[in-house]
Structure 1
């Protein structure tokens, strides 16, 4: 079993590359979605799944180090939540601002977004994942920063 030098583990050295990787990968997903006409479809789902797989691989390969950083697991969870959901919400927001539908203006554009596949990529994903993050945060606080 590989030993970990805990003297070199800190939140910055462990989580900053993860944060930057999550920002880059979610930005790439949103660029591809935008280039393809801002449609939420199988390609958008597959790209998001690829980000999730990359995130899971990183979490598994860094699980022991994360266990040595107080609140490490929940911070990694929060980074994933914020980067993924913000990327989709920002894309939907910009899409609605840039292309208000006809004479209905921004109200019609907002309704149009809610009536499209973007509802799942924005409100549903943020809500369900947000509940999971809230439960994880509560457990982490109760555990004084350590996941058991």
Structure 2
């Protein structure tokens, strides 16, 4: 993996768990707003709350960028967990709406989070996955 810069240590499991937990809570707020305030519809309020979650992801990645890069697949983990939590929450919400017979709600604003966000972000995650697999220096690191 090479030589670490002085004073730089890899991000810990605790740091990654805090990131995951904060994303989860942020998504609960987004989905709670969408379900209860917006009555199941994706609105500008949903987008603003989702933007706040995205801002947290950017701040976390910038503040911990070096520490993430010092851990095997650290940046990949941060990317993958964000994808799964955020996109998974929208798919789960849509599934709950369908099970409750509220399919018509999915006609209003849901194509963005369900299709566009999942597919475009998924393509980026696929590229990141391939890059992580092809990266050098982690052959002898237990992950």
Q: TM-score, normalised by structure 2?
A: 0.84
Give aligned pairs, total: 133
From 118, 122, 126, give the equivalent of 2:118: 126
Superposition pairs for residues 87-98 of structure 1, below 5 Å? Answer: 87-98=89-100
Please name the residue that 1:57 is paired with.
59
Q: Would the alpha carbon gap of residues 113 and 4 (structure 1) be closer, same or farther in structure 2, given more than 3 Å must change?
A: farther
Q: Would the alpha carbon gap of residues 145 and 53 (structure 1) be closer, same or farther in structure 2, given more than 3 Å must change?
A: farther
CA contact (8 A) 1:29 1:44 kept: yes
Deviations 1:51-100 (A, max 9, x none): 00011001111011101100000110001100100111111110111124
Cα RMSD (Å): 2.0
Q: Which runs of 5+ in 1 are unaligned?
A: 101-108
1:4 and 2:14 equivalent? Answer: no
Q: Which runs of 5+ in 2 are unaligned?
A: 139-143
Please name the residue that 2:141 is paired with.
none
Superposition pairs for residues 8-19 of structure 1, below 5 Å? Answer: 9-19=10-20
Q: Would the alpha carbon gap of residues 66 and 145 (structure 1) be closer, same or farther in structure 2, given more than 3 Å must change?
A: farther
Q: Would the alpha carbon gap of residues 17 and 46 (structure 1) be closer, same or farther in structure 2, given more than 3 Å must change?
A: same
Q: Would the alpha carbon gap of residues 16 and 41 (structure 1) be closer, same or farther in structure 2, given more than 3 Å must change?
A: same
From 62, 66, 69, give the equivalent of 1:67: 69
Distance 1:132 1:31 in 2: 27
CA contact (8 A) 1:89 1:122 kept: yes
CA contact (8 A) 1:26 1:87 kept: yes
Q: Would the alpha carbon gap of residues 113 and 142 (structure 1) be closer, same or farther in structure 2, given more than 3 Å must change?
A: farther
Q: Would the alpha carbon gap of residues 52 and 10 (structure 1) be closer, same or farther in structure 2, given more than 3 Å must change?
A: closer
CA contact (8 A) 2:27 2:53 kept: yes
Please name the residue that 1:105 is paired with.
none
CA contact (8 A) 1:30 1:91 kept: yes
Q: TM-score, normalised by structure 1?
A: 0.82
